């Protein structure tokens, strides 16, 4: 997994909605499809992108495949963004604000 893959996967609103659904509970593909007005093959392609980015995991339960969110990848992306933001905050904290007379 790379940050590039993570951000590419997060760039699509359908994939972000899938992640929001999966943060509530594990779901199979039919349950996910029922939340959208797009085809099952399209949802499967989105799930494949999310899986390649390691943002979701799949686990077989009998004949069903259940999808769950993998938050550890999101945590890595958040840590990178917080580190980036921290450097920006350091730059702004050294700039003096003009005094009002």
DSSP 3-state of 66: strand
- Residue 101 belongs to a domain: no
State the CB neighbour count (10 A cutoff) for residue 8.
14
- Please report the pLDDT score of residue 32 as a whole number: 98
The four Cα atoms 85, 83, 22, 49 give a dihedral, to 10 degrees, of: 100
pLDDT digit string, tens, across residues 10-31: 999 999 999 999 999 999 999 9
At 56, is the secondary structure helix, strand, or coil? strand
Element holding 17 (H helix, E strand): helix 13-24
Is 38 a member of any domain?
A: yes
Number of domains in the chain: 1
**5 band by pLDDT with thresholds 50, 70 and 90:** very high
Average pLDDT for 37-47: 98
pLDDT at 95: 56
Residue 84: inside a domain, yes or no?
Answer: yes
Q: What is the pLDDT of residue 96?
A: 55
By residue range, what is the domain housing residue 22? 3-92
pLDDT tens per residue across span 43-94: 999 999 999 999 999 999 999 999 999 999 889 999 999 998 886 566 555 5
Q: Is residue 81 part of a domain?
A: yes
CATH of the domain at 58: 1.10.10.10
């Amino acid at each position: 997994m790379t940050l590039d893959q993570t951000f590419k996967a997060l760039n699509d609103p359908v994939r972000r909605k899938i992640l929001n659904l999966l943060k509530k509970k594990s779901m199979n593909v039919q349950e996910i499809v029922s939340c959208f007005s797009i085809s099952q093959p399209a949802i499967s392609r989105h799930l494949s992108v999310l899986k390649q980015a390691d943002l979701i995991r799949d686990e077989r339960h009998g004949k069903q495949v259940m999808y769950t969110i993998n938050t550890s990848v999101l945590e890595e992306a958040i840590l990178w963004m917080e580190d980036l933001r921290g450097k920006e905050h350091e730059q702004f904290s050294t700039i003096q604000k003009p005094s009002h007379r």
